[in-house]
Amino acid sequence: MQCIEVEGLTHVYFPGMPLETVALRGIELTVYDGEFIALAGAAGSGKSTLVLHFNGLLLPTAGSVRVFGRDITDKEYRRQLWRQVGLVFQFPERQIFSPTVFEDIAFGPRNMGCDSLTVNKRVKETLALVGLPEEIQAEDPRTLSGGMLRRVAICGVLAMRPQVLIMDEPGAGLEPAARQLILASIKEIQSQQGITVILITHHLEDAAVFADRVAVLHQGELLSVGKTGEVLSQTRILHKAGLKAPFAVEMAERLIESGIKLPTIPLTIEDAARLLHGLIKTTGVEPGGYNDG
Amino acid sequence: MMDNISIGQYLPACSMVHRLDPRAKLICIALEVPAVLMTFNLLSLALVSAWTLLAVILSGIKPRVYWHSLKPLWVLLLISFILQVFFTPGEPLIAVGIVTISHEGIVHSGWLLWRISVLLLLAAVLTFSTTPLQLTMALEWLLSPLRRLRIPVQELAMIINLALRFVPTLFDEARLLLLAQRSRGADFTSGSIKERVNRLVPFMVPLLTNIFSRADELAQAMEIRCYQVGAIRSRMRVLRFESADYAVLLVSLAILVTVVAMIIF
């Protein structure tokens, strides 16, 4: 089932003005129900502009965007789209405003009209989903670390139980462990509850591990979209978009260049380790380059 | 919502007006504003209007952009126009119930509307064609005699410069916050005034917090680069008056003198 259909989407900022900028040009993209799709691209490639259309915060200059089969130009529909499409902005901790963690997470569910019992339950459940302790509810957000705060801000969106979750660089500026933790919990929520996840990132290692499909944007145009394995092995396209293929792919490419035949292209470190292990076993090579067979 | 270009925005273009010395532009405005305010007959009004129109045309920016940037102010102007029309006493032209429209009312408020429009256009030409940095350099130069009175002119100019520099940044920040809170269901457009004020909390609190942390970072960045209050600073680009600058100054002065002369004689 299609969940978001984008047809010929063009978005121009300040049309007709001297500062006119074409942010998106003729984008064709379909996002399916329940999938985990990564949107990759360099800074200024139009990723953030694209997702702002998905919950009706921006309108197309040309083309159309349909969410759950309905056009977002319908004003009434657009106004209530936030209930289904959750959007986690970049550096979401900058939008925290409440004196306690509980209040901030409860903001969204309350706006949806949930009663206080449901709100309490949701806050508790959501904290558990991202691996935060329940006691944190009463804390003042200002006393928390950056990584914790980021997770609290993400909880604020997750607590609304969106059917589509869009995350703009959720790991930006965090240490690898925290980034991994956030993405792993999102992946778990996606597979458990069947929600659709759209992840904006320029870190393709994350896409390799978590995404089902990847779309690559470059200067407002869609360069490539497809299964993670297919897209991430096209290193030339990735380089053109100013990105770097995952370590495993880059390594495999160097090996192929030096004449070693590989049965598959590995995407993650685990794949690469397995592949090398297999190669070493079949050729019987020992470290140091000697063949004992 | 804030996709609009506001009146204070600099719009890069390669026009005669853009190339003028910012000091000349600032002095021209200083001469022109009293001239506009003192106009009392059609000839003087035509004079200042023509001069402003010339500046608009030579600024190399489409009239449509001027129209767009002044559009939010038009509502205000129209309301004041209508109120003036109704509340200026004089010879009644039309009377419906207690509302009367007088001949003087229409003339008086039309006059006012025209002059305010000219002033707004002048301000727009200045800000469209001059970068904030140029403006503060010009301001600093104009205020430099005040140094003798121990007024920290350079620091004042720096403060103004920084404030102007951060206006677009803060607009962006505010826009993002609005979008972020709206996507969590915040509603800023309905309810009673008290409710609306309460609803602004999710917007105002993070905005202020972010502004203060930004200011703190900026202060640190300036200190790291050895910014010192009171130190003599040099300029990368030194301003120089060219013949075109003298020409526009002369014309502006001539217009002011003419308008004043028309009042006296």
Query: Tens digits of per-residue pLDDT, A167-183?
Result: 999 988 888 888 898 99
- A235 plus A252 within the same structural domain: no
On whether any CB of chain B is under 8 Å from the CB of A87, the answer is yes
Q: Which H or E element spans position B60?
A: none
CA distances from B182 to A66, A78, A102 (A): 20, 12, 19
Which of B183, B201, B203, B205 should be substituted to probe chain A, the one whose Cβ sees the most A Cβ atoms within 10 Å? B183
Total structural domains in chain B?
Answer: 2
Report which of A286, A233, A236 is spatially closest to residue A262, judged by C-alpha positions: A233
- A141 plus A265 within the same structural domain: no
Cβ contact, residue pair B177, A95, below 8 Å: yes
- B21 plus B122 within the same structural domain: yes
Asked if residue A292 belongs to a domain, the reply is no
CATH number assigned to the domain comprising residue A14: 3.40.50.300
- B48 plus B175 within the same structural domain: no
Task: Band the pLDDT of B147: cuts 50, 70, 90.
Answer: confident
Structural domain boundaries, residue A130: 2-243
Structural domain boundaries, residue B82: 1-148+238-265
Asked if residue A59 belongs to a domain, the reply is yes
Asked if residue A11 belongs to a domain, the reply is yes
Q: Are A217 and A45 a contacting pair, CB within 8 Å?
A: yes
- B80 plus B115 within the same structural domain: yes
More confident residue, B70 or A38: A38
- A132 plus A19 within the same structural domain: yes
* Cα B101-B103-B109 angle, rounded to 5 deg: 80
Structure tokens at B42: 């059609």
Dihedral-angle region of residue B66 (phi above 0 means left; psi in -120 to 50 means alpha; beta otherwise): alpha
- B159 plus B143 within the same structural domain: no
Chain A partners of B179 at a C-beta cutoff of 8 Å?
52, 57, 89
User: What interface predicted TM-score (ipTM) does this complex get?
Assistant: 0.83
Supply the pTM of this predicted model: 0.77
Report which of A37, A196, A193, A178 is spatially closest to residue A122, judged by C-alpha positions: A193
Per-residue confidence (pLDDT) for residue A31, from 0 to 100: 96
d(CA A92, CA A128): 19
- B130 plus B26 within the same structural domain: yes
Whether the per-residue pLDDT at B100 is higher than 80: the answer is: no
- B121 plus B162 within the same structural domain: no
| Facing B183 at nearest CB: one of A18, A19, A57 | A57
Asked if residue A293 belongs to a domain, the reply is no
Provide φ and ψ at A246, rounded to 5°: -55, 155
d(CA A16, CA A98): 40
> Which residues of B lie inside 8 Å of A (Cβ-Cβ)?
3, 5, 9, 11-13, 61, 64-65, 68, 176-177, 179-187, 201-203, 205-206, 210
What average pLDDT does the structure give for chain B?
85
Q: Which H or E element spans position A21?
A: strand A21-32
- B79 plus B198 within the same structural domain: no
- B79 plus B55 within the same structural domain: yes
Whether the per-residue pLDDT at A19 is higher than 80: the answer is: no
d(CA A62, CA A207): 29
- A223 plus A282 within the same structural domain: no
- A275 plus A212 within the same structural domain: no
- A185 plus A206 within the same structural domain: yes
Per-residue confidence (pLDDT) for residue B2, from 0 to 100: 41
- A64 plus A103 within the same structural domain: yes
pLDDT digits (tens, 9 = 90+) for B22-70: 999 999 999 999 999 988 888 899 999 999 999 999 998 888 888 888 8
- B122 plus B244 within the same structural domain: yes
Task: Band the pLDDT of A247: cuts 50, 70, 90.
Answer: very high
Total structural domains in chain A?
Answer: 2
- B60 plus B157 within the same structural domain: no
